[in-house]
């Protein structure tokens, strides 16, 4: 049983290496274009909904609420429509913390007098023991911690997403995926979230900060990404090492 537990990480490492060996000398394969709702991991989004309201009466009116043009609204509004998402992330965070702690302690315990029984203590205690100072302890502790974090991120991208669901209150669930392969490096961009119809521009675009429950992933696969990652053995040691 213990041998199986020790060999399990090696088996997992071998599986990961087998996938890399299968594409030795070839660029990473692109994913096929498919319906995102067909993915086994896809789940419909459930959000809090307001109480239903009666639609306003628009008798003898040619104007439709929410329209951006007199004749037709060009914005995405139904399942399957496309919408352009503008991803513009520019974050800069700097944190610096320092904690210092020092502690000194000393304790002395003795029984110089206890109903005359201290005279009998020499029979129970080792030779030369003094009942007035049986236990004496001292301790000193010092801790000094200093931490600093500096993080800067800038991402500017555009991609087309598909409306996968229209919620009862009119908000739309969008999901988009983009893959770009340059030489042997495959860059992947995945964006999903919930958008209000009012936040969609007249050019059928929406900014990423208008997406509720936004999930934005930008990464890649290929030779450069493999080199930038620590070896699997090093990752395993970092997880299991208690020091």
**For position 16, what pLDDT does the model report?**
59
Instruction: Give residue-wise pLDDT tens across range 1-22.
Output: 656 555 555 555 555 567 666 7
Specify which of 72-76, 84-88, 236-240 reaches the highest per-range mean pLDDT.
84-88
Give yes or no for residue 77 having a pLDDT over 80.
yes
Q: What is the pLDDT of residue 229?
A: 75
- Which tens digits make up the pLDDT trace of 227-240? 777 777 787 787 77
Any idea what the Cα angle at residue 14 is, between residues 230 and 7, rounded to 5°? 100
Asked whether the CA dihedral 200, 206, 212, 213 is positive or negative, the reply is positive
Question: Which residues does 233 contact at the CB level (< 8 Å), separation at least 6?
Answer: 13
The pLDDT of residue 194 is 92
Cα–Cα distance for residue pair 231/237, rounded to 1 Å: 10
| 3-class DSSP string for the chain | CHHHHHHHHHHHHHHHHHHHHHCCCCCCCCCCCCCHHHCCCCCCCCCCCCCCCCCCCCCCCCCCCCCCCCCCCCCCCCCCCEEEEEEEEEEEEEEEEEEEEEEEEEEEECCCCCCCHHHHHHHHCCCCCCHHHCEEEEEEEEEEEEEEEEEEEEEEEEEEEEEEEECCCCCEEEEEEEEEEECCEEEEEEEEEEECHHHCCCCCEEEHHHCEEEEEEEEEEEHHHHHHCCCHHHHHHHHHCCC
pLDDT in tens, 92-126: 888 888 888 888 888 777 767 666 666 666 666 66
pLDDT of residue 205: 92
């Amino acid at each position: 049983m213990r041998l199986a537990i020790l060999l399990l990480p090696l088996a997992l490492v071998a599986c990961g290496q087998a996938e890399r060996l299968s594409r030795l000398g070839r660029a990473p394969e692109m994913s096929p274009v498919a319906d995102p709702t067909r993915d086994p991991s896809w789940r419909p989004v459930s959000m809090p909904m307001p109480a239903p309201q009666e639609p306003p009466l628009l008798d003898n009116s040619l104007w439709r609420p929410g329209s951006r043009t007199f004749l037709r609204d060009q914005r995405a509004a139904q399942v399957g429509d496309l919408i352009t998402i503008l991803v513009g992330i520019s974050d800069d965070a700097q944190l610096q913390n320092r904690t210092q702690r020092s502690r000194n302690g000393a304790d002395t315990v003795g029984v110089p007098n206890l109903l005359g029984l201290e005279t009998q203590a020499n029979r129970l205690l080792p030779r030369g023991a003094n009942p007035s100072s049986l236990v004496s302890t001292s301790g000193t502790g010092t801790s000094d911690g200093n931490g600093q974090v500096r993080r800067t991120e800038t991402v500017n991208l555009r991609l087309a997403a598909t409306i996968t669901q229209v919620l009862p209150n009119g908000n739309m669930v969008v999901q988009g995926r983009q893959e770009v392969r340059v030489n042997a490096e495959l860059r992947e961009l995945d964006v999903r979230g919930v958008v209000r119809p009012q936040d969609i521009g007249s050019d059928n675009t929406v900014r990423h900060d208008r997406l509720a429950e936004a999930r934005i992933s930008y990464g890649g696969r290929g030779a450069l990404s493999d080199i930038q990652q620590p070896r699997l053995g090093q990752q395993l040691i970092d997880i299991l090492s208690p020091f």
